Amino acid sequence: MSEISEEMRRTEVESREWYMAAYAPEGVPTSDHLKLRTVKISLALDSIPDQHLVLETLFISLDPFLRSRMTGREDGLCSPQYNLNEVVSAFGVGKVIRSKDSNFGEGDVVICPFLPVAEYCVLPSQALTTKIDPDAGVPLPEYLSMLGVPGFAAWVGIEVIAGPVKAGSNVFISAAAGAVGMYAGQLAKIKGCRVVGSTGSDEKVKLLKEEFGYDDAFNYHTESDFDAALSKYFPNGIDVYLDNVGGEMLEAVLNHVNHHAKIPLCGMISGYNKVWSEREGVRNLLNLIGKDVKMQGYMVFSYIDRFGDFTKEMESHLKQGKIVSKFKIINGIEKFLESLGSLFTSSNIGKLVIQVK
Amino acid sequence: MSEISEEMRRTEVESREWYMAAYAPEGVPTSDHLKLRTVKISLALDSIPDQHLVLETLFISLDPFLRSRMTGREDGLCSPQYNLNEVVSAFGVGKVIRSKDSNFGEGDVVICPFLPVAEYCVLPSQALTTKIDPDAGVPLPEYLSMLGVPGFAAWVGIEVIAGPVKAGSNVFISAAAGAVGMYAGQLAKIKGCRVVGSTGSDEKVKLLKEEFGYDDAFNYHTESDFDAALSKYFPNGIDVYLDNVGGEMLEAVLNHVNHHAKIPLCGMISGYNKVWSEREGVRNLLNLIGKDVKMQGYMVFSYIDRFGDFTKEMESHLKQGKIVSKFKIINGIEKFLESLGSLFTSSNIGKLVIQVK
């Protein structure tokens, strides 16, 4: 409390924030596109509008879809583009340090789906999704991971779009050691499926098998003949493919699908840094017809009415230790740009978050 | 009756039949692949096994998917390949001229999903789907068209996979003047949709608008910038795309889909004559994610449990004149090969059938 009281005496803070200096139609965004600047945020209560809060950022979630908000084009993932010269935003966890809304008190910790990538911000209180219960005993980054977008994306893919998944189904997951993949595989295992993942290093192959309970896994760099790899790991074909990468791997999968297979399309990271006409085309969609296959893309926000069901199920798995998480936590908001770039190099394991404070 | 009696005295007929001489992995099959020969069929009752019938072929249905049974590969549409040196088969209508099954009498007319492309054949009676009621007053080719595979394919696409289709939806249909397209468009119009089709000639554009009730249509040869064409014909985007062609047109459509659009994949005629790795790739599947789009392939045989519902609805439309058909009827079984090739040249209008007898 003494810390908050001291803060209460401050009337202004300096806040570093990342803003969109120029759009990046292709390639990984660089310091030409995203720049860090320092702004001043007033903490004087009379300067804060009603129903607004001042937040101090605790954690920022790094998700591949953020990339699609930086192209300057309203295509592909159809996320709204960040405005030029304005601070960018991401899923995050923040602490209330000033409140002009009686539902929030100083010290409350909140989850915000569009938190500015900044040390401090002023937001309308309705922009916050949930106040976190400090007695729940859940580590804060978990709200951005197992109980956040990646966990929800995994759940929608496996339980809603591919569901109901039958025990014994052959499930393949790409980018399997990534934030979505690690939960998707564990959810499919809970349903009694045989689960195989592809990932980008031998270390991650080991992790998938030893920590996430995958039945098998392969490194797509060393087993780069995807068709041969899928023949080897799926002698009985593929019933469910949760696609996080698109392109060449999706094409290979379509030559191994079983009748009535389901393909939830969660992401296509292989294409995010390319304009669409330069992406790898998928040439064998005819297999969708011959095998009566459903391929369905989804944005998790479209399933927000199921978030309650998801939370209930995931919290139960979390408490029983049936699903585990792996984090890579980066310290310091100044690391945002390079951390974003690292999402596209398969160098990360699990969920990438920035700890700001 | 006198004709049947006369036939009854015959103990043998000559029958011309088309057989698979060699597979055609690529290109349109030629006389190197499909050959005509004459065989003898015994009509002596004691030579016919129990529960078998001898049929005289009346009509043969020409459908693009037949092409996929001639590649020598079990891929794509995963229809079983025709055996080498054996007669090929297709949907057809035949007349019973000898019966060793008490459920069938000489003169009965039957529909058979795997009728040999031959003038006469001996078949187990269980290979026949339905005995036609001569009092129904339905022209026989209609059983291969509105009430057959093309009508059923259109119905499954619009009513089951894209369904329920809302009134006012923007529906696009490729190969719209083809056998499936003509019914799909009319079904969507009955549901109150706005329907636009693409087709291969100005004559067919006219037909779509004047006879099949399409709201609009374009010739993909003259409006070959598909993206521009779709911008023009779908200023409010596309809610349903019944795809009969695949490739470049499918890719263009994906840049115009609305949120929650549905894409039943009925056929991909643009790719049937190519090995899959040489087909045009679709590079913008990412749009499926951003717009929450469902793309689902289907083989009509997988929905055979719905055939009764379909027949009931279609017969009602037929009797009320709400849906009309267009046929191209070719005379003579010797025309099978060139007629099959014509399916891939966009030279036909409506349903192509061969009248054998």
On whether both B74 and B168 belong to a single domain, the answer is no
Average pLDDT, chain B: 92
Any residues with CB less than 8 A from the CB of B11 and at least 6 apart, and which? B42, B43, B44
pLDDT band at A73, cuts 50/70/90?
A: confident
Of chain A residues 225-254, which have a CB less than 8 A from chain B? 246, 250-251
Q: Which of B56, B142, B17, B59 is nearest to B355 (CA)?
A: B59
On whether both A136 and A172 belong to a single domain, the answer is no
Any residues with CB less than 8 A from the CB of B315 and at least 6 apart, and which? B138, B147
Flag whether pLDDT at B73 surpasses 90: no
A86: number of Cβ within 10 Å: 11
pLDDT at residue A251, as a whole number: 96
pLDDT at residue A113, as a whole number: 87
Flag whether pLDDT at B70 surpasses 70: yes
Token pair listed for A117: 């990538």
| Average pLDDT of the residues in B75-103 | 89
Flag whether pLDDT at A303 surpasses 90: yes
Residue of chain B nearest A290, judged by CA positions: B77
Number of domains in chain B: 2
CA distance A171 to chain B (A): 19
Residue of chain B nearest A288, judged by CA positions: B297
On whether both B279 and B337 belong to a single domain, the answer is no
Q: Quick one: how many helices (H) and strands (E) in chain B?
A: 9, 15
Flag whether pLDDT at B4 surpasses 80: no
- A-chain residues near B292 (CB < 8 A): 296-299, 302
| Average pLDDT of the residues in B257-262 | 97
Does the distance separating the beta carbons of A68 and B284 come in below 8 Å? no
Flag whether pLDDT at B166 surpasses 70: yes
pLDDT at residue B135, as a whole number: 87
Using CA of residue B92, residue B97, residue B98, residue B99, what is the dihedral sign?
positive
Can you spell out the DSSP letters for A10-50?
A: --EEEEEEEEESS--SSSS--TTTEEEEEEEEE--GGGSPT
On whether both B81 and B100 belong to a single domain, the answer is yes
pLDDT digits (tens, 9 = 90+) for B267-318: 887 777 777 778 889 999 999 998 999 999 999 889 989 988 999 999 999 9
- Determine contact: B81 vs chain A, CB below 8 A: no
B16: number of Cβ within 10 Å: 17
Residue B9's region, left for phi above 0, alpha for psi from -120 to 50, else beta, is: alpha
Average pLDDT, chain A: 92
Token pair listed for A222: 């060393």
Question: At B140, which CATH number?
Answer: 3.90.180.10
Can you spell out the DSSP letters for B60-86?
A: EE--GGGGGGSSSSS-TT-PPPPPTTS
pLDDT band at B354, cuts 50/70/90?
A: very high
pLDDT at residue B51, as a whole number: 95
- With respect to residue B79, please indicate whether it lies within any of the assigned structural domains: yes
Flag whether pLDDT at A271 surpasses 80: no
Give me the residue from A271, A279, A293 closest to B297, CB to CB: A293
What is the reported pTM? 0.87
pLDDT at residue B2, as a whole number: 46
Token pair listed for B352: 């192509």
Residue of chain B nearest A269, judged by CA positions: B286
Radius of gyration of chain B (CA): 21
Does the distance separating the beta carbons of B278 and A77 come in below 8 Å? no
- With respect to residue A314, please indicate whether it lies within any of the assigned structural domains: no
Flag whether pLDDT at B79 surpasses 80: no
On whether both A75 and A120 belong to a single domain, the answer is yes
- With respect to residue B311, please indicate whether it lies within any of the assigned structural domains: no
pLDDT at residue A129, as a whole number: 76
Does the distance separating the beta carbons of A279 and B284 come in below 8 Å? yes
Q: Quick one: what percent of chain B has pLDDT higher than 70?
A: 96
Q: How far apart are CA A297 and CA A246, in angstroms?
A: 11
On whether both A336 and A292 belong to a single domain, the answer is no
On whether both A7 and A138 belong to a single domain, the answer is yes
Element (H, E) at A249: helix A247-254
Flag whether pLDDT at B29 surpasses 60: yes
Q: How far apart are CA A6 and CA A10, in angstroms?
A: 7
Q: Which of A26, A71, A289, A302 is the best mutation test for B, with the most CBs of B within 10 A?
A: A289
pLDDT at residue A262, as a whole number: 98
On whether both A54 and A173 belong to a single domain, the answer is no
Q: How far apart are CA A218 and CA A220, in angstroms?
A: 6
- With respect to residue A63, please indicate whether it lies within any of the assigned structural domains: yes
Does the distance separating the beta carbons of B296 and A293 come in below 8 Å? yes
Q: What is the ipTM of this complex?
A: 0.85
C-alpha separations of B102 from B119, B125, B320 in Å: 23, 10, 35
pLDDT band at B110, cuts 50/70/90?
A: very high
Question: Virtual CA dihedral for B33, B35, B40, B41, nearest 10 degrees?
Answer: 60
Does the distance separating the beta carbons of A292 and B295 come in below 8 Å? no
On whether both B154 and B288 belong to a single domain, the answer is yes
C-alpha separations of A285 from A150, A259, A292, B321 in Å: 27, 14, 11, 36
- With respect to residue B319, please indicate whether it lies within any of the assigned structural domains: no
pLDDT at residue B259, as a whole number: 95
Question: At B256, which CATH number?
Answer: 3.40.50.720
Flag whether pLDDT at B3 surpasses 80: no
Can you spell out the DSSP letters for B107-163?
A: T-EEEEEEEESBSEEEEEGGG--EE--GGG---GGGGGTTTSHHHHHHHIIIIIISP
CB B183 within 8 A of CB B323: yes
pLDDT digits (tens, 9 = 90+) for B214-251: 999 999 999 999 999 999 999 999 999 999 999 999 99
On whether both B77 and B99 belong to a single domain, the answer is yes
Q: Which of A142, A146, A116 is nearest to A333 (CA)?
A: A116
Q: How far apart are CA A98 and CA B110, in angstroms?
A: 81
CB B89 within 8 A of CB B115: yes
Amino acid found at A136: A
pLDDT at residue A328, as a whole number: 92
Amino acid found at A331: N
Give me the residue from B268, B278, B290 closest to A285, CB to CB: B268
Domain assignment of residue B44, given as a range: 2-145+326-355
Q: How far apart are CA B170 and CA B233, in angstroms?
A: 10
- Determine contact: B280 vs chain A, CB below 8 A: yes
Q: How far apart are CA A12 and CA A107, in angstroms?
A: 18
Does the distance separating the beta carbons of A276 and B288 come in below 8 Å? no
pLDDT band at B161, cuts 50/70/90?
A: very high
On whether both B332 and B256 belong to a single domain, the answer is no
Does the distance separating the beta carbons of A292 and B299 come in below 8 Å? yes
pLDDT at residue B1, as a whole number: 44
Flag whether pLDDT at B188 surpasses 90: yes
pLDDT at residue B272, as a whole number: 72
- B-chain residues near A249 (CB < 8 A): none
| Average pLDDT of the residues in A7-17 | 85
On whether both B202 and B290 belong to a single domain, the answer is yes
Does the distance separating the beta carbons of A297 and B283 come in below 8 Å? no
Q: How far apart are CA A3 and CA A1, in angstroms?
A: 5
Token pair listed for A16: 């570093």
pLDDT at residue A5, as a whole number: 61
pLDDT at residue B147, as a whole number: 94
Does the distance separating the beta carbons of B75 and A290 come in below 8 Å? yes
pLDDT digits (tens, 9 = 90+) for B34-65: 999 999 999 999 999 999 999 999 999 998 88
Q: Quick one: what percent of chain B has pLDDT higher than 90?
A: 78
pLDDT band at A37, cuts 50/70/90?
A: very high
- Determine contact: B293 vs chain A, CB below 8 A: yes
pLDDT at residue B136, as a whole number: 86
